[in-house]
Amino acid sequence: MSYLDGFLNLINSLPDTLLYLLLGLSAFVENVFPPIPGDTITAFGAFLVATRRLSFFGVYLTTTLGSLIGFMFLFWVGHLLGRKFFIEKDYRFFKARDIMRAEEWFRKYGYFLIFLNRFFPGIRSVISIAGGISGLKVQKVALLALLSASLWNLIWISVGYSIGANWDLVREKMGKIMFNYNMAILSLMGLGAVIILVRLLKKRRSRREGP
Give tens-digit pLDDT for 19-71: 899 888 888 888 777 656 667 777 778 888 888 888 999 999 999 999 999 99
Res 118: pLDDT: 85
Q: Is the pTM of this model over 0.85?
A: no
Q: How many C-beta neighbours within 10 Å does residue 38 have?
A: 24
Res 124: pLDDT: 78
Helix (H, G, I), strand (E, B) or coil at 1: coil
Instruction: Say if residue 176's pLDDT is above 80.
Output: no
* Mean pLDDT, rounded, for 78-105: 73
Which of 70, 73, 75 shows the shortest CA–CA distance to 128?
75
List CB contacts of 158: < 8 A, sequence separation 6 or more.
46
> How many helices and strands, by DSSP H and E, does the chain display?
9, 0
Each as own residue / partner, the long-range contacts of residues 24-28 (CB below 8 Å, 24 or more positions apart, any chain) are 24/62, 24/63, 24/65, 24/66, 25/66, 26/63, 26/66, 27/62, 27/63, 27/64, 27/65, 27/66, 27/67, 27/70, 27/149, 27/153, 28/66, 28/67, 28/69, 28/70, 28/73
**Which comes out higher in pLDDT, residue 15 or 143?**
143
Instruction: Say if residue 198's pLDDT is above 90.
Output: no
Spatial separation of the C-alpha atoms in residues 130 and 124, rounded to whole Å: 10
| Exposure string over 59-68, b if 16+ CB within 10 A, otherwise e | bbbbbbbbbb
Give tens-digit pLDDT for 101-150: 777 777 777 788 888 888 877 677 888 888 888 778 889 999 999 999 99
Q: Are 145 and 116 in contact (CB under 8 A)?
A: no
Helix H or strand E segment including 78 = helix 56-89
Spatial separation of the C-alpha atoms in residues 96 and 116, rounded to whole Å: 21
Distances (CA, A) of 126 to 91, 137, 182: 11, 17, 16
Res 125: pLDDT: 80
Res 145: pLDDT: 93
